[in-house]
């Protein structure tokens, strides 16, 4: 087993991570990846999906938690369960499709054992004659599908932990819970609904490279400069011709118009467990008729004062370590599912604000397609960096990854680490993620 292969790994972990830099093996060593899956992803709260992905009894979605194939399924009682996608008889995957409806119960395709949606054994063909006199049958736990140790749902967002121990979901999320409050509060009905299905991208790079990029405020005006400049040129042409370009152009042109020197004006907030927030940089409250109509529906639902509070939340990204990046003002998220030391799946989902005008959904869709989807140049820009980083880290051209930008200038407020004024491009979020990584990997 892993422990036998790398008996000294626990002791050497402290040699891999310093406060301002990390050894390259953290990204490239398959043994470290295995340990990460066991000590981080298969232990902490991992996002499974939104409950609106499984609206009806029997609806299911499959997903990966660490190395484990899982099923999120809606039961007849309305509860959303998370089960291992494995038949307790001889190990067959219970469902082979990514999603579907299992009817009134799960039926294994191999020997037709059947199971309730909470995993309990329902029946075995000829159970009486086949198992009389054995300990096996409905009451034997080994005959039921295994459930995730813990499942919790916050405002429709379903998380599971494969460990029975550890903080509650709320305690785990801490301040980062704002990701879901901000997204749902922006809906006049206080809820969001998933837009069925998502983009899936497999990145040929380690999972941590993606997460570190999410709050990397130095890279956008470099990596995405050409994309932003092209969009800005078109935006200006449209403005010249019509007086006003659609907001969707701004979503791309901001990569060029927010020049590199301006990125230090933003701020990151770094929380326990590796979670981090990047404050907002994109004006999303123009005075166009669509936005004003939306503001009226919010004011009708909550009153003007509360509406101003809701729309005043200043967030661009919330990173929930180790598996979720949420852009709450634009109603989208990316779930990160490590597949191997050099392969990472991201699921890119977006949501509708219940009760909001269609135009506000179109805004979310525009950002989804233009910035986060695999078809946009922005995504391609990032993917190329991720792959190149992984290639470079696999070489012997250097041992360390540096997170030293603005190191030593952070402001510590209890458990929260804020970047100081004019330090928005700080690598504090990466330092915070690696601090959590080291704690988890050391079993804390």
Binding site for ligand FES (CB under 6 A): 87, 89-90, 92, 108, 110-111, 113
Measured at CB, which residue is nearest to Fe ion?
382
Return d(Cα 341, Cα 207) in angstroms, integer. Answer: 8
Q: Are 277 and 178 in contact (CB under 8 A)?
A: yes
Q: Least distance (Å) from ligand FES to the CB of residue 137?
A: 14
**Rg (alpha carbons) of the chain, rounded to whole number:** 23
Return d(Cα 307, Cα 235) in angstroms, integer. Answer: 30
Nearer to Fe ion, 264 or 382 (CB): 382
Which of the choices ligand FES, Fe ion, none does residue 382 contact, using the CB cut-off of 5 to 8 A by kind? Fe ion
Which of the choices ligand FES, Fe ion, none does residue 108 contact, using the CB cut-off of 5 to 8 A by kind? ligand FES
Which of the choices ligand FES, Fe ion, none does residue 92 contact, using the CB cut-off of 5 to 8 A by kind? ligand FES
CA distances from residue 54 to 100, 102, 110, 118, 369 in whole angstroms, order as listed: 9, 11, 25, 14, 24
End-to-end CA distance of the chain: 21
Which of the choices ligand FES, Fe ion, none does residue 296 contact, using the CB cut-off of 5 to 8 A by kind? none
Nearer to ligand FES, 122 or 405 (CB): 122
Query: How many other β-carbons are positioned within 10 Å of the β-carbon of residue 140?
Result: 13
Nearer to ligand FES, 28 or 92 (CB): 92
Q: What would the two tokens of residue 51 be?
A: 């409950």
Q: Are 62 and 99 in contact (CB under 8 A)?
A: yes
Q: Least distance (Å) from ligand FES to the CB of residue 144?
A: 12
Stretch that binds Fe ion, among 64-72, 374-382, 394-402, 404-412 (CB under 5 A): 374-382
Q: Least distance (Å) from Fe ion to the CB of residue 135?
A: 56
Stretch that binds Fe ion, among 1-9, 93-101, 375-383, 422-430 (CB under 5 A): 375-383
Which of the choices Fe ion, ligand FES, none does residue 367 contact, using the CB cut-off of 5 to 8 A by kind? none
Q: Least distance (Å) from ligand FES to the CB of residue 71?
A: 14
Q: Least distance (Å) from Fe ion to the CB of residue 137?
A: 55
Phi then psi for residue 101, to 5 deg, are -125, 130
3-state secondary structure of 115: strand
Nearer to ligand FES, 111 or 388 (CB): 111
Q: Least distance (Å) from Fe ion to the CB of residue 315?
A: 17
Q: Are 137 and 127 in contact (CB under 8 A)?
A: yes
Q: Least distance (Å) from Fe ion to the CB of residue 337?
A: 19
Return d(Cα 215, Cα 422) in angstroms, integer. Answer: 15
Using the rule CB under 5 A, which residue among 29, 34, 36, 382 binds Fe ion?
382
Q: Are 336 and 211 in contact (CB under 8 A)?
A: yes
Phi then psi for residue 385, to 5 deg, are -60, -45
User: Would you tell me which residues interact with Fe ion (CB under 5 A)?
Assistant: 382
């Amino acid at each position: 087993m892993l422990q036998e292969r790398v008996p000294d790994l626990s002791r050497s972990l402290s040699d891999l991570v310093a406060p301002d830099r990390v050894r390259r093996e953290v990204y490239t060593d398959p043994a470290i990846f295995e340990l990460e899956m066991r000590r981080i992803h298969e232990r902490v709260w991992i996002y499974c999906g939104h409950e609106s992905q499984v609206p009806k009894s029997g609806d299911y979605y499959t997903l990966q938690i660490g190395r484990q194939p899982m099923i999120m399924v809606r039961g007849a009682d309305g509860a959303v369960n998370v089960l291992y996608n494995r038949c307790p008889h001889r190990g067959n995957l219970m469902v082979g499709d990514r999603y579907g409806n299992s009817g009134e119960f799960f039926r294994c395709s191999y020997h037709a054992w059947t199971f309730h949606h909470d995993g309990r054994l329902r029946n075995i063909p000829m159970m009486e004659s086949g198992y009389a006199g054995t300990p096996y049958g409905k009451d034997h736990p080994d005959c039921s599908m295994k459930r995730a140790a813990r499942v919790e749902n916050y405002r429709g967002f379903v998380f599971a932990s494969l460990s029975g121990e550890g903080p509650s979901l709320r305690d785990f999320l801490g301040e980062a819970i704002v990701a879901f409050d901000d997204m749902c509060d922006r809906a006049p009905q206080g809820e969001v609904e998933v837009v069925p299905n998502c983009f899936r991208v497999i990145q040929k790079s380690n999972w941590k490279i993606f997460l570190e990029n999410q709050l990397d405020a130095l890279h956008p005006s470099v990596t995405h400069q050409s994309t932003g400049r092209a969009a800005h040129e078109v935006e200006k042409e449209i403005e010249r011709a019509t007086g006003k370009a659609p907001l969707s152009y701004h979503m791309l042109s901001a990569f060029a118009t927010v020049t590199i020197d301006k990125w230090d004006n933003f701020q990151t907030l770094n929380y326990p467990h590796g979670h981090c927030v990047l404050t907002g940089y994109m004006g999303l409250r123009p005075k166009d008729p669509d936005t004003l109509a939306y503001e009226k529906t919010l004011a009708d639902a909550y009153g003007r004062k509360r509406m101003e509070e809701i729309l005043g939340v200043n967030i661009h990204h919330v990173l929930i370590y180790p598996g979720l990046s949420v852009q709450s003002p634009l109603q989208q998220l990316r779930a990160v599912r490590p597949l191997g030391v050099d392969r990472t799946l991201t699921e890119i989902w977006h949501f509708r604000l219940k009760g909001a005008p269609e135009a506000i959904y179109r805004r979310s869709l525009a950002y989804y397609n233009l910035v986060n989807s695999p078809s946009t140049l922005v995504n391609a820009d990032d993917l190329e960096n991720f792959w190149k980083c992984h290639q470079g880290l696999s070489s012997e051209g250097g041992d360390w990854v540096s997170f030293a930008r603005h190191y030593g200038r952070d402001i510590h407020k209890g458990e929260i680490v804020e970047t100081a004024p004019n330090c928005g491009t700080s690598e504090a979020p990466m330092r915070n993620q690696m601090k959590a990584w080291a704690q988890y990997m050391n079993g804390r």
